[in-house]
Amino acid sequence: MDDQNQLIQQLDLLADFEARLDLIQVDKSAARKTIITPEIEAELEALDAEFAPLEQSVNKKIEAIKDIIKLYAIPTGKSVKGSSKQAVYNRGKLTISDRRAYERYKEEHPEVVAFIREGDPWITFRDVKS
């Protein structure tokens, strides 16, 4: 299986875990609404403690999957789209106030490239619009 397909699978897995976390939070909210009274504030704290490990576990998996996607996607220099998530490649930022003027100047003075620092590229995650 090629890297593109592996990235798509990881994006789909990321979407699944994010959906799972959303469901956990919906269940938690519904459970909370059934017990909210001034007399049982302590029960709310217990409920938070009950769901915290589930949320932490899923959040750790989400972050691990994102790290894997970044590890494989950044070297490709391309965005990857899964069925419900996409990893969007972003070039590293140059610290130049006027990019057009710099590009014109660079054509006449190619040695200037040695003095420009480009930041590291990064990946952002977005939901795929249906």
Angle at the Cα of 74 (from 72 to 77), degrees rounded to 5?
Answer: 120
Structure token pair of residue 55: 């949320």
DSSP 8-state secondary structure symbol assigned to residue 106: H
What is this structure's pTM? 0.62
Task: Give the whole-angstrom CA distance, residue 19 versus residue 92.
Answer: 30
Q: What is the rounded distance in angstroms from the CA atom of residue 67 to the CA atom of residue 72?
A: 9
Query: What tens-digit pLDDT sequence spans the chain (130 residues)?
Result: 688 899 999 999 999 999 999 999 999 999 988 888 867 878 888 999 999 999 999 999 999 999 999 999 999 999 999 999 999 999 888 677 787 888 888 899 988 888 777 788 888 888 888 7
